[in-house]
Chain A
Amino acid sequence: DTAVSQTPKYLVTQMGNDKSIKCEQNLGHDTMYWYKQDSKKFLKIMFSYNNKELIINETVPNRFSPKSPDKAHLNLHINSLELGDSAVYFCASSQEPSPRGEAQPQHFGDGTRLSIL
């Protein structure tokens, strides 16, 4: 009954390869996110997506692209992997703001540790 699940948990691959990380949420949330946690444990937003719009952090290379086959999934595709892409990637989801405009808590997956050789 995991709320936000990511696969794989670990991903080790060669530089230059293309890889995908899957994320699924069973909470019925409207918005999903991808975050990157670097080697210094600093978390930064990469994307947020609902059925209306995709918000991209301007610092994210275009080698990274989110794909949402349906409301419950937001997968992350990465092309031409580089050494600097090594990090832990977290998926999260949240409900849309309440009718009063109050943002809702974000729920995180356990992360995918990506290591580039």
Chain B
Amino acid sequence: KQEVTQIPAALSVPEGENLVLNCSFTDSAIYNLQWFRQDPGKGLTSLLLIQSSQREQTSGRLNASLDKSSGRSTLYIAASQPGDSATYLCAVTGGSQGNLIFGKGTKLSVKP
């Protein structure tokens, strides 16, 4: 049974700092891995999707890496801003039907 773990559960950093969020999964047989952002009272916004054949994806200040063999992914946020404050969720797809299996998220707070 696939399990997704995210460390740390919460993180507080000063504005401008670079940071890394970690995600690990127990079964390396994944189709893809997706990083989301969730703001309070809102739905999820897809940030980056890495296919199982890829090693990383970049979008602006965000870079996500995937190491399938070790069951790990990282989300790197460069030059953090207060607007980056949110909960970041990692999810993997274990089958062709696309059902996502989520971690419990990392709550990020960026202080001005």
Contacts and interface: CB of A to CB of B under 8 A. Distances in A.
Given A103-B31, A103-B98, A109 B43 contact: yes
Contact of A90 (B32, B44, B91, B101): B44
B69 interface: no
Contacts of A107: 46
Interface of B is mostly: strand
A44 B49 CA distance: 19
Given A108-B43, A108-B44, A43 B99 contact: no
Contact of B93 (A41, A57, A103): A103
Interface string A13-52: 0000000000000000001010100001111110010000
A41 B99 contact: no
A108 B87 CA distance: 15
A104 B43 CA distance: 18
B51 interface: yes
A71 B40 CA distance: 29
**Contact-residue size bin, chain B (C-beta under 8 Å from the other chain):** 20 to 34
A80 interface: no
A55 B98 CA distance: 10
A102 interface: yes
A42 B43 contact: no
B104 interface: yes
Interface string A69-105: 0000000000000000000001010100100011111
Interface of B: 31-32, 34, 36, 41-46, 49, 51, 87, 89, 91, 93, 96-102, 104-105
Nearest first, the 7 A-B pairs at minimum CB distance are A108-B43, A108-B44, A43-B102, A105-B46, A110-B43, A45-B99, A105-B49
